[in-house]
A and B are shown apart, each in its own frame.
Chain A
Amino acid sequence: MSRKTEWGRGLVHLTLLLLAVVCIVPLLLVVSASFSDETAIAEYGYTIIPKSISLYAYRYILSNPSQIFSAYEVTIIVTIVGTALSLLISSCLAYALSRRDFAYRRGFAFFIYFTMLFNGGLVPSYMLVTQTLHLKNSLGSLILPYLIVPWFVLLLRTYFSEIPEPLLESAKLEGAGELRILWNIVLPLSLPAIATVGLFIILMYWNDWYLALLYLDDSHKFPLQYLLYTIMQNLSAIKANPMPGMAIHLPGENTRMAIAVLATGPILFVFLFVQRYFVAGLKVGAVKG
């Protein structure tokens, strides 16, 4: 290998390493702050390695766990129920759309994809959920609006269409119905796509705070991300108009960061677990446009 290419290779690794550091530093700052002493943060600011380690924040959260536990409960229920329902009905629809011999394929496809182009906007959706469906302050308002995302249906359909038709034909000759073909042939063959889209849906529900912002007043039903949002919001409100005595109710900076860590941890775990499927699933989606 020539000296020049060696230099080039070194430069490639250096750049990527630098980018990797940039991606991970904010996370390190937050994790470090959560393990840091409150006075150390005030004195030295956020640092990559805590100046003096303290488990106070986590102990504080666990000593008074009712709110964070109920937020965890809401987030977990919404994520599990939402992901299961959404993946199920999206796969069924994507399968029907992937079948070339489905007579109304074009009509259904246009009907679904048109919603990517035009929507009624925030206010009509809000009126529908609160006044027509009466879902305000219910977990349904956190699940139902996200059930069908056309983009996910498109990804699944692209993958399903790759399955050779003769396979489905022969299954039909053996007497298998559509449901059996979907369940026993199409879904097992599409594991990377199911895992990819499944992870996208998990992320969407786990990370959501927007539906809670719109539809929830009852603090017992706040999901994790929205709980974090309200904590941050209260803090900036108090910073803007300081009132003596009010700051007492607010968790300190290390506690806030500890809640952020607790809210991110599980999704990071899922990410590491599903990632190997993820690349394959996305590749197919990408190459196909």
Chain B
Amino acid sequence: MKSVRIQGSRRTSRSSFIVTLKRNKWLLLLAAPATIAVILFSYLPMFGVVLAFKRYNFTDGIFGSPWSGFDNFKYLFATRDAFNSTINTVYLNALFIVFSLLGSIVVALLMMEVRNKWLVKSYQSVLFFPYFISWVIVGYFAYALLNYDTGTVNRLLEAAGLDAVQWYTKPQYWPAILVLVYVWKNVGYFSLIYLAGMLGIDKEYYEAATMDGATRLQQIRKITLPLLVPLITIMVLMQVGRIFFADFGLFFNVTQNSGALYSTTDVIDTYVFRTFRVLGDAGMATAAGLYQAICGLILVCISNWLVKKVNPDNALF
């Protein structure tokens, strides 16, 4: 009796599944190509992380190579490089977040004060321009400014009676240079997002404040910034979630991948790349990548949990 009933419900659930499938067949078909691409290029490589626990050799392949337990991780954390690149990644990304946030909010606030539509558009275009340039070209720009013999910065230093600096061999200057380059490239993009947020604020608040005799600065402090807090929170938390992942192009091209600078410019991504492509150690590079991905995943989950507390609508999942 009992089993018959279960069988019956199973049958109806199966047939209802087929009905839903049929009803959604066109939408499923539309989603299929992209889903296949994602399976192929994002999910299949996830199985490859077993390499982190293997002593990889080319002839046996990924699944045939002998297991090595946690040896790769032991080697990884035994070197100073892994520690150094983790510190650099987190430290520099934190600087990027703070300075790009401050810069882009200031720029957005300034843009709000420009009444001339044509001028707003022009400023926007010019400030947005660096976002469109590839990191290779940004590397060329940096080279034009910083190279020892003909670089503009050294020429200016000499004109001011100071000594020229070998920028590409002096690691102590690079955190500042990288922050400047990062902010330069991204501030236009971020400021546009904040500007869009500011334009969404109800004009009536400002009208009422003006009636009460509030100055522009007071309006910014009491109206614009407080109302922008949710957007700022979301943007910052999204960046914090990615803090273990560096912008490979920035660290690889702008520094000319110069070994002399690694102490302050080597990040996990460049370290993984070098371990794999230069040293050829697939196992350890996978281990470093897995370590990075797991740290990232944990941080994203924490960030998402925080976003949910601030504003559930903006949570990723």
CA distance A209 to B314 in the complex (A): 33
Partner of B35, one of A22, A111, A182, A209: A111
**Of B1-9, B75-83, B92-100, B144-152, the one with at least 4 CB within 8 A of chain A:** B144-152
Q: Which of A27, A95, A229 contacts B141 (CB 8 A)?
A: A27
A131 CB to closest chain B CB, in angstroms? Answer: 7
- A104 to chain B: which residues have CB within 8 Å? 24, 28
Chain B nearest CB: distance from A96 CB in Å? 4
| Least distance between A272 CB and chain B CB atoms (Å) | 8
A60 within 8 A of B: no
Q: Any chain A CB within 8 A of the CB of B286?
A: yes
B55 at the interface (CB under 8 A from A): no
Whether A128 and B37, one on each chain, are in contact in the complex, defined by CB atoms closer than 8 angstroms, is no
Tell me the bound Cα distance from A30 to B24 in angstroms: 54
Which of A30, A110, A122, A268 gathers most chain B CB within 10 Å?
A: A122
Nearest-neighbour CB distance to chain B for A97, whole angstroms, equals 7
Max count, chain B CB within 10 A of own CB: residue among A92, A117, A128: A117
Chain B residues whose CB sits within 8 angstroms of the CB of A232 once the complex forms: 136, 139-140, 143, 256
- Shortest CB-to-CB span from A267 to chain B, Å, is 6
Contact A45 B136 (CB under 8 A): no
| Residues of chain B lying within 8 A (CB to CB) of residue A13 | 114, 119
- Chain A CB within 10 Å, residue with most, of B141, B155, B296: B141
Determine whether the beta carbon of B34 is less than 8 Å from that of A148: yes
C-beta contact mask, A225-248 vs B, less than 8 Å → 1, else 0? 110110011001000000000000
Query: Could you tell me the distance between the alpha carbons of A24 and B62 in the complex, rounded to whole angstroms?
Result: 48
Q: Is A65 an interface residue (CB 8 A)?
A: no
Residues A96 and B27 in contact in the complex (CB < 8 Å), given A115-B43, A123-B48, A271-B132:
yes
**Known contacts A104-B28, A225-B136, A229-B253; is-contact A112 B47 (Cβ 8 Å):** no
Nearest CB on A from B148, distance (A): 9
**Chain A positions within 8 Å of B313 at CB level:** 289
Shortest CB-to-CB span from B51 to chain A, Å, is: 6
Beta-carbon contact of B317 and A113 below 8 Å: yes
Q: Report the minimum CB–CB distance from B93 to chain A (whole Å).
A: 17
Given A117-B297, A271-B129, A182 and B144 touching (CB < 8 A)? no
With both chains docked as a complex, state the minimum distance between the C-beta of B316 and any C-beta of chain A, in angstroms.
6
Number of B residues contacting the other chain (C-beta, 8 Å)?
Answer: 98
Q: Does A173 contact B (CB under 8 A)?
A: no
A239 to B199, CA, bound (A): 51
- With a cutoff of 8 Å between Cβ atoms, the chain B residues found around residue A93 in the complex are 30-31, 33-35
Interfacial chain A residues near B119, Cβ < 8 Å? 13
Q: Is B20 a contact of A89 with CB atoms below 8 Å?
A: no
Please, what's the 1-or-0 string for A200-222, where 1 marks a CB less than 8 Å from any CB in chain B? Answer: 00010011111000100000000
Given A26-B141, A283-B196, CB of A95 within 8 Å of CB of B282: no
- A267's nearest neighbour on chain B, judged by CB, is B132
- The verdict on B42 contacting chain A, using a C-beta distance below 8 Å, is yes
* B37→A210 contact, CB < 8 A: no
Question: By the criterion CB–CB under 8 Å, are A282 and B196 in contact?
Answer: yes
Q: Tell which of B137, B282, B285 has the most Cβ of chain A within 10 Å.
A: B137
Most chain B CB within a 10 A radius of its CB, from A97, A121, A257: A121
> Given A131-B61, A287-B197, A120–B49 Cβ distance below 8 Å?
yes
CA distance A271 to B132 in the complex (A): 8
The answer, yes or no, to whether A184 is at the interface (CB within 8 Å) is no
Q: Are A260 and B31 in contact (CB under 8 A)?
A: no
- A259's nearest neighbour on chain B, judged by CB, is B140
In the assembled complex, which residues on chain B have CB atoms less than 8 Å from the CB atom of A145?
41
Interface membership of A178, Cβ < 8 A: yes
Interface pair B130/A23, CB less than 8 Å apart: yes
Residues of chain A within 8 A (CB-CB) of B107 are 16, 19
Asked if A209 contacts B136 (CB within 8 A), the reply is yes
Say if the beta carbon of A126 comes within 8 Å of chain B: yes
Q: Check B224 for interface membership: any CB of A closer than 8 A.
A: no
Residues of A close to B143: CB separation below 8 A: 232
Q: How far is the CA of A8 from the CA of B141 in the complex (A)?
A: 33
**Distance in Å from the Cβ of B267 to the closest Cβ of chain A?**
13
| Contact of A90 with B by CB under 8 A | yes
Q: List 29 A-B contacts (CB under 8 A).
A: A12-B113, A12-B114, A13-B114, A19-B107, A41-B150, A42-B149, A46-B144, A93-B35, A95-B27, A113-B316, A113-B317, A115-B38, A117-B296, A117-B300, A120-B42, A121-B292, A121-B293, A122-B276, A124-B46, A124-B47, A128-B41, A131-B61, A153-B34, A177-B26, A208-B134, A257-B140, A279-B124, A279-B192, A289-B231
- Which residues in B have some Cβ–Cβ distance to A below 8 Å? 20, 23-24, 26-28, 30-31, 33-35, 37-38, 40-49, 51, 61-62, 107, 110-111, 113-114, 119, 122-130, 132-137, 139-145, 149-152, 154-155, 168, 184, 188, 192-193, 196-197, 199-200, 216, 231, 234, 248-249, 253, 256-258, 269, 272-273, 276-277, 282, 285-286, 289-290, 292-293, 296-297, 300-301, 313-314, 316-317
